[in-house]
Chains A and B, each alone.
Chain A
């Protein structure tokens, strides 16, 4: 008999036991491990997808911020350039103005110095001229400079041109009053008398002449009638000399550099 029924039963039981053992020690652990791995892979894939999405968001955010920063940088750069340009222009303008002001001050100082120089030169020239004239007149003749000046003044009164004489006469008769004769020095009585006589002849009547000493008047004599004046002094000579001196200085002056 090929079939041993005790063995059949035993093998049946053995097989059922083996099924249980395989379930316990093989299938379940392997399936659990596979499931755990699949869950883990799914989790890692989900994490990776989330990280990828996060990275994409971060990338987009970075790009957005970078673009914003670029725009802000460009804006700031343009503003800085504009401010720098404005500042440069302002500084150039200020420097130009300062240079102009300094140049003007320099020119003013030079002009002032030049004026002082000319004034001093005129004064020295006048003083020297008077001193030399006084000394020459004293040495060569028996008259004084003041007396000679009175004589010249009287001769001028006597030889006035018609227009000037008419103007003086008109002024005298327009408002009769004293005729003032001002001089830089005190006139002695002889010179006063000769001037009085010349004035009387000029107006053809006895005129009340008032003599006054005016130190501010450049050396000379001046007749004044109702605001109209007639005089003789060395101002004209001094003006001519001033013109010649100015021409001479201008010829030798160095041109100023332009700012």
Chain B
């Protein structure tokens, strides 16, 4: 039994290959994009609107509210990145109810890619908000001696993001697969439901942690006093 959907290859030409992770990711991207396009092509700006529009508005405004509660004063700036992180991970977990589907987030390559995105996005947003000098100063706060520890913190939390998500998603899929072979009735359904809950929680945790990292990077002066958000969960 493969541990990761990366191992399921559909096509390969040299180092270029098409595995289940990429294929299911494309499927997810197609589903999200097509669904968003179908719903948003006829949006109503009046008081009466469709249920799907209500659902999307609730999702978008909830994400913005969560971003704002983290401490980011302009949530629209970060909505594209953080909202897509949440929707991608959540929808990847939600589709585990489809038989034969393997979540791309169960691949360490995917979670590493997402963690790398966060790893790059944090300094980008910090520099865009604070400028080069102020952002780089944050690494030597409160003293210059903290520079190596801050760098290690950046790397370790990125690694933690990737491994945490991968571990949760992979373990869930593995448990369901094992249980299917042992007790094929009823119990896997319960575990699937538990996996759905775990997936939603992981999507929330990943997105919130990314928001917290960005918030810490965009608020230099408060970073020294704020607790190190981090590697809970």
Contacts and interface: CB of A to CB of B under 8 A. Distances in A.
Interface of A: 2-12, 14-23, 25-27, 29-34, 36-37, 40-41
Contacts of A37: 45-47
A22 B148 CA distance: 37
Contact of A3 (B46, B87, B112, B117): B112
B169 interface: no
Contact of B113 (A9, A40, A41): A9
Interface residues of B, number: 47
Given A9-B113, A14-B25, A30 B57 contact: yes
Contacts of A11: 21-22, 25, 104, 107, 109-110, 113-114
Residue of B53, B79, B87 contacting most chain A CB atoms (<10 Å):
B79
Contacts of B10: none
A19 B110 contact: no
Contact of B117 (A4, A12, A22): A12
A4 B33 contact: no
13 contacts: A2-B4, A6-B16, A7-B6, A11-B104, A18-B88, A21-B33, A22-B33, A22-B80, A22-B87, A29-B43, A33-B40, A37-B46, A40-B46
Contacts of A31: 60, 76, 79
Interface string B16-59: 11010110011001001100110010011111010001001100
Residue of B6, B40, B107, B109 contacting most chain A CB atoms (<10 Å):
B109
A5 B19 CA distance: 12
Contact of A40 (B4, B17, B45, B49): B45
Contact of B40 (A3, A10, A12, A25): A25
B204 interface: no
B29 A21 contact: yes
A6 B19 CA distance: 10
B60 A18 contact: no
A37 B16 CA distance: 47
B127 interface: no
B36 A25 contact: yes
A105 B138 CA distance: 129
Residue of A21, A22, A31 contacting most chain B CB atoms (<10 Å):
A22
Contact of B6 (A4, A16, A36, A40): A4
Residue of B33, B44, B114 contacting most chain A CB atoms (<10 Å):
B33
